[in-house]
Amino acid sequence: MNLGVFLAALAMGTLELSEAGAVAAIYAGAYRSWLPYSIAALGVGLVLLPTFVLGKFLTIFPLHYILIAGAIILTYFGYRLLRSARRYFKKRTGSHKEKEGIGVVFVVALTEAFEDALVVLALIPQSYTSTLAGTAISAILVLSLTALLKSQISRIRLPQLKFFLSSLLFSLATLWILEVFVNITDLVVIPLFAVYVIVNYVLIRI
């Protein structure tokens, strides 16, 4: 067991997957259904299971193409979220609220799992067992925390959640596009997020 690799996988898995768990909890509370949890689990599984099954063989695929495709998808769903939030603040009623909500949960789960998978792919060559153990325990930890804090998390209102999620998706999409062309740190997503919060607020108020 490589302790450093284990802790890295545990920390990153907990950080990324907790966001997917929180979004699922909010939508589950809003629609009084367990379906968002299943959708989130499906999204995470579709990314992480192939990552561990195929392991280092996934590195043969050009990462740049994956980032570009992911950025396009995130931009599309970011736009949909922003449009939905704007309808609410303009006192208009959306006609596909639940369907859109389920789609959002799935996309967020895919996105967060993909972010975790990038780290997993870097850790696997150092210690496959430690990486797998850290990621598995992080998933169990997130499930436990989500169950314990479900009532508190579910109080968050969907329109505000959609507004901030839209800003986050736009930020990640921009970051991934930038990473295709330049070597930058992931910390750039913080100022990008702040910029998109301001821009989205202005767009909502227009």
Question: Is there a contact between 25 and 154 (Cβ–Cβ < 8 Å)?
Answer: yes
Does residue 49 register a pLDDT over 80? yes
* pLDDT score recorded for residue 198: 94
pLDDT at 58 > cutoff 80: no
User: What mean pLDDT, rounded, does the chain reach?
Assistant: 80
Per-residue pLDDT band at 153 (split at 50, 70, 90) = low
Range 91-120 burial, b when 16+ CB lie within 10 A, else e = eeebeeeeebbbebbbbbbbbbbbbbbebb
Q: pLDDT digit string (tens) for 82-123? A: 887 787 776 654 444 444 557 788 888 888 888 888 778 767
Predicted local confidence at residue 61, as pLDDT:
65
Angle at 193 between CA 98 and CA 12, to 5 degrees: 80
Q: Smallest Cα–Cα separation from 201: which of 176, 164, 170, 171?
A: 164
Question: Which residue would you say has higher pLDDT here, 154 or 37?
Answer: 37
The number of CA neighbours under 13 Å toward the Cβ of 92 is 10
* Predicted confidence (pLDDT) per residue in 115-131, tens digit: 888 778 767 866 888 88
pLDDT of residue 104: 81
Q: Please tell me the predicted confidence (pLDDT) of residue 112.
A: 85
Predicted confidence band of residue 19 (pLDDT cuts 50, 70, 90): confident
Nearest of 96, 76, 101 to residue 159 by alpha carbon: 101
Query: Is it the case that residue 194 has pLDDT exceeding 90?
Result: yes
* Residue of 134 and 53 predicted with greater confidence: 134
For 85-94, the CB contacts below 8 A with 24+ separation are 85/159, 85/160, 85/162, 85/163, 85/166, 85/200, 85/204, 86/203, 86/204, 88/159, 88/162, 89/159, 89/204, 89/205
Alpha carbons 106 and 20: distance in angstroms, whole number? 9
